[in-house]
Amino acid sequence: GAVVSQHPSWVICKSGTSVKIECRSLDFQATTMFWYRQFPKQSLMLMATSNEGSKATYEQGVEKDKFLINHASLTLSTLTVTSAHPEDSSFYICSAQSPGDGNIQYFGAGTRLSVL
Amino acid sequence: SQQGEEDPQALSIQEGENATMNCSYKTSINNLQWYRQNSGRGLVHLILIRSNEREKHSGRLRVTLDTSKKSSSLLITASRAADTASYFCATNEAGGFKTIFGAGTRLFVKA
């Protein structure tokens, strides 16, 4: 199957700093990538849909100025958590759809963010 | 809100037994998918079943889909300790492009 790489896998930062998470499709071009947030023992909550070359589409309740998404190329989308606070601590997961593969999503391994 | 609801929320079985997880959804769909997540990791796609299909097999996995009841089930036969994980159903709404995940079932297989 297609491979999606997410980096970093774990980040600890101080309150007020910004953190960037990268999501790369390694062996296919992804026009659409998705960013999810997952709380412990809960399901994935879609935050935004990242479209190559255009602005991301954010889900209701997700602050676009807080969670900046950039999809500058067909293989890379980034999520920047700006001015992070302890309540932003969570597990963030990206996924990408491979063209011609239906709606199957290929997931990165996730990034655990801990804000002190 | 999440499209899918799954039951049970948690399931504990002995190695060798079968595990059945159920998923219900609310709207018309193009397809339904099942994913697996090991603790602290990303999700891995297991199987996709289209709205015009009723049953699909992949190795020890068997998925059924009943569009009249808006429900699906995932059966894992002859379970192994390595099957311990969370399992999520996900639906792609008809006419839409987003994939919505259910709450998940946490499966624990005891060796």
CB A90 within 8 Å of CB A98: no
**Which pLDDT band, with edges at 50, 70 and 90, does B2 fall under?**
very low
Q: Is the pLDDT of residue B40 over 90?
A: no
* CB–CB contact B48 A103 (8 Å): yes
Q: Do residues B87 and B109 lie in contact, with contact meaning Cβ atoms separated by under 8 Å?
A: no
- Residue among A102, A104, A108 minimizing CB distance to B42: A108
d(CA B90, CA B25): 9
Give yes or no for residue B18 having a pLDDT over 90. Answer: yes
What pLDDT, on the 0 to 100 scale, is given for residue B3? 53
Smallest CA–CA distance from A90 into chain B, residue: B40
